[in-house]
Structure 1
Amino acid sequence: MKFTDSPVIELRVRDKLLALHQDNGSMHVGTSVWPCSLVLVKFAERWAHSSDPNPYAALLDFRNKRGIELGTGCGVAGMGLFLLGLYDVVLTDIPPVMPALKHNLKRNKPALGKALKNTVLCWNNPDQIKALNPPFDVVFATDVVYIEESVRHLLSAMATLVKPEGVVLLGYQVRSPEADKLFWELCDEAFHKEKVPHEHLHPDYAYEEADVFILRKKQNETKPNEENS
């Protein structure tokens, strides 16, 4: 499920309006806006600085925290979490997607107030990972589990990039049964997972197919087994 085929997706985050250009005719899925990015941002917006009894108060206290997005695509989640207070954000993706990302960063600079950091990152490239100067307080990704062959590299990158006491925020929808099965099998090697109840999502962005997961490192685990990867 895509959010819409409209060439421009608008998303209001607090008092700012993001306008994301997408190209659904591109050869690369990263140039489209996928729903889990919207779901993650609006979940965080609902609970960030909420005055109600808030089970996510510590999780979403982004002050003075470094964050990195994997597979950022058009940049929705990264821009949204920055507007919600994530202090230092790096948006990453593969080279073919970077022009679309940079275009969206430029067109949304008035709302963001600055140019967000962005760089190429292939999950199986240890030199690129090292150059990012990990670890990060918050690693986040949305709609990135759809190719079985990339699952091990994705989880290894997540485990390497996040601090032992940090958190991975994952906007998730099943795209491939094979990739889904392998992802959760390997995830259990390195992370404890918590699924956000659907009633805790933003009511206007609680799509039936989309979920938000919170992943935290297990003790004495740094990355999933990469044998036979």
Structure 2
Amino acid sequence: MKFTDSPVIELSVIDTRLSIQQDNGSMHVGTSVWPCSLVLVKFAERWHPLKCAAGDNPYADLLNFTNKRGVELGAGCGVASMGLYLLGLHDIVVTDIAPVMPALKHNLKRNKPALKKALKTTQLYWGNEEQLKSLKPPFDFVIATDVVYLEETVAPLIKAMEVLMADDGVVLLGYQLRSPEAHKLFWEMCVDVFEVEKIPHEHLHPEYAYEEADVYVFRKKKKEQNS
């Protein structure tokens, strides 16, 4: 299930190396590094302007992070936020629940020399409207990787995505099936709220294209005008 049992995961992004410490013995899944965060970051790196000429890049607009705001939900060890920060998403808030915060903050501090700044963190329970409001949405990017594994958190997660996302914003979702029940409910509910685009597997980074991991882009469905 986890990416590896090694206590430290290294991930190189453009010309910077991130070093993420995980605690697989913890009671909380958020203190381990899960594959989808790596898959999402390496997908974004593959199509980054520094790596890919604009004319050959179908994701040039999607992955243009200049002057955009982002928020990560259920960030865990913070891999996706740190990776996307290095790719230009400089205004990003990294969130998770209270028990995961020590591991998240530890990893952000550990990588401060590589990031050259401390990323903003805040505690967020997806169903807590006050906490959602305090983040001051809307955001251009809502980032979420490996967050669908409990049936009871599916509805709050989708609501949080919807509330936080700008009307013309996107959710970048790294996804792997963890629970058949949560999976079924998530996709049933998603199609009511979002237009869903699945990134073709051959467009993922060749070294990080795990068979079971996918990247999706969600956009808000346009509300029908009343005639």
TM range (shorter): over 0.9
**C-alpha displacement at 1:46, in angstroms?**
0.1
- What SS does the aligned partner of 1:11 have? strand
In the TM superposition, structure 1's runs of 4+ consecutive aligned residues that sit over 6 Å from their partners are none
**C-alpha displacement at 1:87, in angstroms?**
2.5
Deviations, residues 120-177 of structure 1 (Å, cap 9, x unaligned): 0000000000000000000010000000000000000000000000000000000001
Equivalent residue, structure 2, for 1:227: none
Equivalent residue, structure 1, for 2:132: 129
Could you tell me how far apart the structure 1 residues matched to 2:215 and 2:2 are? 16
Equivalent residue, structure 2, for 1:73: 76
Aligned to 1:195, which of 193, 198, 219? 198
* Amino acid across the alignment from 2:112: K
* Amino acid across the alignment from 2:176: Q
Could you tell me how far apart the structure 2 residues matched to 1:166 and 1:186 are? 19
Equivalent residue, structure 2, for 1:20: 20
Could you tell me how far apart the structure 2 residues matched to 1:162 and 1:205 are? 27
Could you tell me how far apart the structure 1 residues matched to 2:61 and 2:185 are? 30
* Amino acid across the alignment from 1:213: Y
Q: For the aligned residues, what is the CA RMSD?
A: 0.8
* Matching of residues 39-188 of structure 1 within 5 Å: 39-49=39-49, 50-51=52-53, 53-188=56-191
- What SS does the aligned partner of 1:159 have? helix
Could you tell me how far apart the structure 1 residues matched to 2:82 and 2:213 are? 20
Q: Structure 2: where are the runs of 5+ without partners?
A: none
Query: Normalized against structure 1, the TM-score is what?
Result: 0.95
- What SS does the aligned partner of 1:72 have? coil
Could you tell me how far apart the structure 2 residues matched to 1:182 and 1:114 are? 38
- What SS does the aligned partner of 2:196 have? strand
Could you tell me how far apart the structure 1 residues matched to 2:58 and 2:220 are? 19
Asked whether 1:217 is paired with 2:216, we answer no
Equivalent residue, structure 2, for 1:29: 29
Q: Structure 1: where are the runs of 5+ without partners?
A: 222-229
Could you tell me how far apart the structure 1 residues matched to 2:124 and 2:87 are? 24
Query: Normalized against structure 2, the TM-score is what?
Result: 0.96
- What SS does the aligned partner of 1:166 have? strand
Could you tell me how far apart the structure 2 residues matched to 1:189 and 1:70 are? 20
**C-alpha displacement at 1:188, in angstroms?**
0.5
- What SS does the aligned partner of 1:23 have? coil
**C-alpha displacement at 1:219, in angstroms?**
0.8
Could you tell me how far apart the structure 1 residues matched to 2:161 and 2:42 are? 22
Moved more, 32-41 or 212-221: 212-221
* Amino acid across the alignment from 2:115: L
Could you tell me how far apart the structure 2 residues matched to 1:184 and 1:48 are? 29
Deviations, residues 11-54 of structure 1 (Å, cap 9, x unaligned): 00011100000000000000000000000000000001111611
* Amino acid across the alignment from 1:157: A
- What SS does the aligned partner of 1:163 have? strand
Asked whether 1:5 is paired with 2:23, we answer no
Deviations, residues 44-72 of structure 1 (Å, cap 9, x unaligned): 00001111611100000000000000000
Percent identity of the aligned residues? 71
* Amino acid across the alignment from 2:92: V
Could you tell me how far apart the structure 1 residues matched to 2:111 and 2:65 are? 21
